Amino acid sequence: MSLHPLQSLLVEPDQSGAFYLTASDLGPLLDAAEGLGFRCVTVDLADCTDKAGLLRQLAAAFAFPPGFGLNWDSLSDALCDLSWLPAEGYVLGLESPGALREDCPDDFATLVAVLEGVSLAWREAGRPFWSFIALPDDEFDALAP
């Protein structure tokens, strides 16, 4: 079986992490991941302007078990487990993060750091965990050096 170029990348745990991309690129990545049997979770952050709202949305999207605490350690612990959502790999797509990035830049930076740590933990387990943060094209272009 020949893999699509995106799939060839997605199956490599050592390459996974948290990445920014254009909003138009998120759909093809999710399609490629689903074709590999990955669990794909998309969270629309358009109305999310604080840490508590972000954590509630992530908890709902991943169907975290009861008792999930609304803090960064609980988020990391839950995302590093996912035993209730078995899959060949995982992809988290974050759409429309602008309000959260603007209103809570420190929390947004912490989220990205947590997602990087989660990817590293899954990498060590030999399974990919990707996070893609979808930005409008003009914002994405502004990130370029």
pLDDT (tens place) for every residue of the chain, 145 residues total = 345 788 888 999 999 999 999 999 999 999 999 999 999 999 999 999 999 999 999 999 999 999 899 999 999 999 999 999 999 999 999 999 999 999 999 999 999 999 999 999 999 999 999 999 999 877 766 665 5
Containing H/E element for 61?
helix 51-62
Residues facing residue 130 across a β-bridge: 91
- Across the beta sheet with 18-22, what order do the strands follow? 18-22, 129-135, 90-95, 39-44
pTM of structure: 0.92
Report d(CA 15, CA 77) in Å as an integer: 21
Q: Which CATH architecture has domain 18-135?
A: 2-Layer Sandwich (3.30)
